[in-house]
Structure 1
Amino acid sequence: MRFAVTQAFPCSYLSDRQEQVLLHLNDEPISNDTYTRLLQNGFRRSGDALYRPHCPACNACQSLRVLVSEFEPSRNQRRILSRNHDLTVTLQTQSQDDYYPLFEAYIHERHSQGSMFPPSVEQYRHFINSYWADTRFMDIRLKDRLVAVAITDTIGDGLSALYTFFDSALQKRSLGTFAILQQIALAKELQKPHLYLGYQIDECNKMNYKARFQPNQRFIGNKWL
């Protein structure tokens, strides 16, 4: 494997810091085994890019994975499942025509200050697609109305939650939490031990929700703890 380190640039999550990223350089499609090994070593996928934080003076970004077989929903998570009992969840192998409009509205309403703003069809396709990942789209609907999409990759030892977007008008349904609970249920059905949720950042309010899914492990000092 070949890797490269980026130059320092302003951190996307902690405004008072700089970040650097370690990139995996893959000129050809990688195998699912290689993808799994990289995730097991703290990497993350965005489009075809695989990366992990490589900041000399900061370790705030910690890869987190849920231990699926031991997971039990909390009282609040059980309420969210009950509140959304009327939703239909199906798996798709590719993006559907009504996904992008929901994604566009979600970025405008929830992430207008983030790196993905302004959204575009080209950016969306580049972000979600990979020519080597085994990706599924968790399609969540209220009758015929699309309300949420959770994009997840199947890997050797689990699922990797790539991105979730949803109808912000349905805030009381907690659709982001519901989507993670559905991915945990899918991983359990597939007899996969882990659901990788990306980076937990305790100091960033919009990124620290992942710790609510317990038990979990964090990748710290090149070990899962």
Structure 2
Amino acid sequence: MQESPIRWYLTAPQPCPYITDGREMQSLLVDPEARLDAAGFGALLAEGFRRSGRFVYRHHCPACDACVPVRIPVPTFRPNRSQRRCLRANADLDIKHRAPPGAGDGRTEADLDEHMPLFLRYLRNRHAGGGMEQMNREEYAGMLTERSAPVELLEFRRAGQLLGVAITDHTPQGLSAMYTFYEPDLPARALGTFGILCQIEHARNLSLPHVYLGYWIPNAPRMDYKIHFRPAEGRRGGIWRAPDDARPRDPR
């Protein structure tokens, strides 16, 4: 059950990791000790908040509003040509929906041992120098256990081999794609795109209205994939709508 009132914290200014023109970033944090239930956390998602481990936050930069929270309206989403091609390329994968280790489904610590080599290989190849490369097993486990809502793991396997994991928060307002990692040496499969498509389909099967993808920043190419899941919505001025300048040509 959610307790109130919630205490809020504002982080100290630090160099923005997204826009490197001297801007500073601050974040508004929910008190990490606050007891949020799934509905309370979902309500914060709908206001543009995200989760990273035990922290629920929203960027709160006085001089900049470049970060746009993005979500996908599940009922109206239809995959474009490249996304349909991605689905076909991965039709040979088995998808398992699992609870994190220790969540009561009989999983063992060995599951974390299976995830870690893939997780670290992904970080070294796709996010070198990003600050997460030295994460250890306990820190990775914290991504799964420090939570305000049920967490699901979507595992992608080929002939039993683990190729990807999507960590997903489950709320009544929708799914939140918290983090996805995958085999970096299989670029033709576009496993990052596949992970989002799987979460959209999972939300559809659960009759949930949205999948939340975190922040998109115009003119930051590495984030543009988020607005290709049309009709993506961005939150500006407290209103969810098509992100400004986020209308790339549909590759169909």
Change (3 A) 1:32 1:125: same
Q: Is 2:16–2:24's contact at 8 Å kept on the other side of the alignment?
A: yes
- The residue that corresponds to 1:10 in the other structure is 15
Output the CA distance in 2 between the equivalents of 1:131 and 1:40. Answer: 17
- SS of 2:48's equivalent in the other structure is coil
Q: Which runs of 5+ in 2 are unaligned?
A: 1-5, 102-110, 242-252
CA contact 2:167–2:177 (8 Å) conserved in 1? yes
- Structure 1 residue 115: deviation in Å? 2.4
**TM-score normalised according to structure 2 size:** 0.86
Separation in 2, partners of 1:34, 1:216? 23
The Cα shift of 1:132 comes to 3.2
Q: Which runs of 5+ in 1 are unaligned?
A: none
The correspondence of residues 30-69 of structure 1 with structure 2, limited to 5 A, is 30-69=36-75
TM-score, normalised to structure 1, is: 0.96
Q: Structure 2 residue aligned with 1:154, among 170, 182, 187?
A: 170
Deviation at 1:122, TM superposition (A): 2.5
> Is residue 2:221 matched to residue 1:205?
yes
Paired with 2:117 and 2:28, the residues of 1 have a C-alpha distance of: 32
1:114 matched residue in structure 2:
130
Letter in 1 for 2:227: A
The 2-side partners of 1:48 and 1:207 are apart by: 23
Mapped partners of 1:93, 1:164: distance in 2:
15
* Aligned counterparts of 2:220 and 2:9: Cα–Cα separation in 1: 27
The Cα of 1:26 is off from its aligned counterpart by 3.9
2:233 corresponds to which of 206, 217, 225: 217
Assess if the C-alpha contact under 8 Å between 2:153 and 2:165 holds in 1: yes
Moved over 6 A (4+): none
Quote the offset at 1:126 in angstroms: 2.2
For 2:125, what is the secondary structure of its paired residue?
helix
